[in-house]
């Protein structure tokens, strides 16, 4: 038998066992469904191929830019959609359901780079970069992590030394998504007063170089890089005026964490949908494996956890819309959704049996869901 990812999802409605739809506005449902339909049509059919080849799907960027997802909660005055945080989260979950690689691109472009420019940049910086980034005509990256500064970003060693008319940056950044093709890199560096500051480095700066990290085991269609900044000169206007110390860095990470929470929900949903479709079709002992109570128990557990994560996600979004989502709550929200996604991925793999190793039956990006435990999101949740 063969259930392709397309067959698994064709004509499916969003998973909604406990009527969480009743908590959403018509506009939020419309945004969710619009992104869902784009993902079903454009992302799912080719996601496994990009994953196999470890290629970034550049051809999807124009369509992605039209959705309004990039910087989705930023206002229309900066060319963005001005959605509620709940609508933005629903859209992220739909994208993550189709491709964890593409949602990783989104977190870097929207949740980190655009958020930093919007929250910490000057009016001129915002007007210049946010409208084209919203449409994916320009791509941004976020350079914080260094070879020796991961969970502890306060120990970063990249320097920014003032010179006539600007700064010169030196240092290295590791694991930076999108950086090899970014038009603008948001780079965190230590200034001479020992404070952490932030600079916009343009991708064609001769002092900036980003090499793609090879042989990644998961999120293979998203590119992470090693950046070298060697006597990288930037003008004084490249400095983000509101970025003053580690607190500014952490405020952007808190915003990004909100999006990653919804991402966990989306990837978990993908695992559940795939396992359910397979269990209904796969026959053993003369009947579909879905008819056995032990399989049903796994499916029920997945659905139960997804339903609870949906409630928590919408609650977190409503708090964020009311400007009342504190960092501890958003961390717990992300921790819950990612931990549940890891558990659901494992249950889904169990349900698929040997087929869990085959591309035809795996969630679109082969070991995506199942590879959640050892990869980035879990690690990053430690921050």
Ligand X SMILES: Cc1cc2nc3c(=O)[nH]c(=O)nc-3n(C[C@H](O)[C@H](O)[C@H](O)COP(=O)(O)OP(=O)(O)OC[C@H]3O[C@@H](n4cnc5c(N)ncnc54)[C@H](O)[C@@H]3O)c2cc1C
Chain contacts with ligand X (rule: CB under 6 A): 108, 142-145, 150-151, 175-177, 219, 224, 375-376, 379-380, 382-383
The least CB distance from residue 280 to ligand X, in Å, is 33
Residue 141 host element (H or E): strand 140-143
The least CB distance from residue 11 to ligand X, in Å, is 32
Measured between alpha carbons, how far is 381 from 106 in angstroms, rounded to an integer? 17
The least CB distance from residue 226 to ligand X, in Å, is 11
Contact 160, 189 (CB under 8 A): yes
The least CB distance from residue 279 to ligand X, in Å, is 30
Closer Cβ to ligand X, 26 or 382, answer by number: 382
Give burial (CB, 10 Å; 0-12/13-18/19+) of 364: buried
Measured between alpha carbons, how far is 366 from 180 in angstroms, rounded to an integer? 24
Closer Cβ to ligand X, 180 or 219, answer by number: 219
- Distances from the Cα of 240 to the Cα of 63, 123, 374, angstroms: 30, 10, 34
The least CB distance from residue 47 to ligand X, in Å, is 16
Residue 24, token pair as written in the block: 């959403």
Contact 73, 85 (CB under 8 A): yes
Residue, CB closest to ligand X? 150
Measured between alpha carbons, how far is 87 from 125 in angstroms, rounded to an integer? 26
The least CB distance from residue 50 to ligand X, in Å, is 15
Closer Cβ to ligand X, 11 or 217, answer by number: 217
Contact 87, 27 (CB under 8 A): yes
Closer Cβ to ligand X, 195 or 383, answer by number: 383
Residue 133, token pair as written in the block: 């980034």
The least CB distance from residue 60 to ligand X, in Å, is 19
Residue 63 host element (H or E): helix 61-66
Closer Cβ to ligand X, 72 or 143, answer by number: 143
The angle that helices 246-281 and 327-352 make with each other, rounded to 10 degrees, is 30
């Amino acid at each position: 038998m063969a259930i392709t990812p397309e067959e698994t999802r064709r004509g499916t409605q969003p998973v909604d066992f406990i009527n969480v739809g009743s908590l959403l506005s018509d506009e939020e449902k419309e945004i969710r469904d619009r992104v869902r339909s784009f993902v079903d049509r454009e992302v799912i059919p080719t996601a496994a191929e990009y994953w196999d080849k470890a290629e970034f799907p550049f051809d999807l960027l124009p369509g992605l830019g039209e959705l309004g997802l990039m910087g989705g909660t930023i206002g229309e005055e900066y060319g963005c959609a001005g959605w509620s945080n709940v609508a933005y989260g629903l859209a992220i979950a739909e994208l993550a359901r189709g491709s964890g690689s593409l949602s990783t691109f989104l977190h870097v472009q929207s949740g980190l780079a655009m958020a930093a420019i919007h929250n910490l940049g000057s009016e001129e910086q915002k007007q210049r970069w946010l409208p084209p980034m919203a449409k994916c005509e320009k791509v941004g990256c976020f350079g914080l992590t260094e070879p020796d500064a991961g969970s502890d970003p306060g120990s970063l060693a990249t320097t920014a030394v003032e010179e006539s008319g600007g700064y010169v940056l030196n240092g290295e950044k590791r694991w930076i998504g999108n950086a090899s093709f970014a038009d603008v890199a948001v780079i965190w560096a230590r200034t001479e007063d020992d404070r952490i500051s932030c600079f916009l480095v343009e991708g064609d700066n001769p002092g900036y170089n980003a090499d793609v990290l090879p042989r990644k085991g998961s999120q293979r269609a998203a590119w992470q890089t090693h950046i070298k900044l060697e006597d990288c000169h930037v003008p004084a206007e490249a400095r983000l005026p509101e970025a003053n110390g580690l607190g500014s860095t952490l405020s952007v990470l808190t915003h990004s964490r909100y999006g990653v929470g919804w991402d966990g929900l989306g990837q978990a949903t993908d695992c559940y949908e795939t396992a359910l479709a397979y269990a209904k079709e796969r026959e053993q002992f003369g009947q579909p494996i879905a008819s056995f109570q032990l399989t049903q128990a796994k499916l029920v557990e997945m659905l139960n956890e997804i339903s609870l994560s949906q409630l928590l996600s919408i609650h977190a979004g409503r708090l964020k819309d009311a400007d009342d989502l504190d960092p501890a709550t958003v961390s717990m929200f992300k921790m819950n959704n990612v931990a549940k996604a890891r558990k659901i991925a494992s249950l889904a793999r169990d349900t698929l049996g040997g087929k869990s190793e085959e591309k035809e039956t795996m969630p679109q990006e082969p070991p995506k869901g199942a590879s959640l435990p050892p990869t980035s999101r879990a690690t990053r949740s430690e921050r």
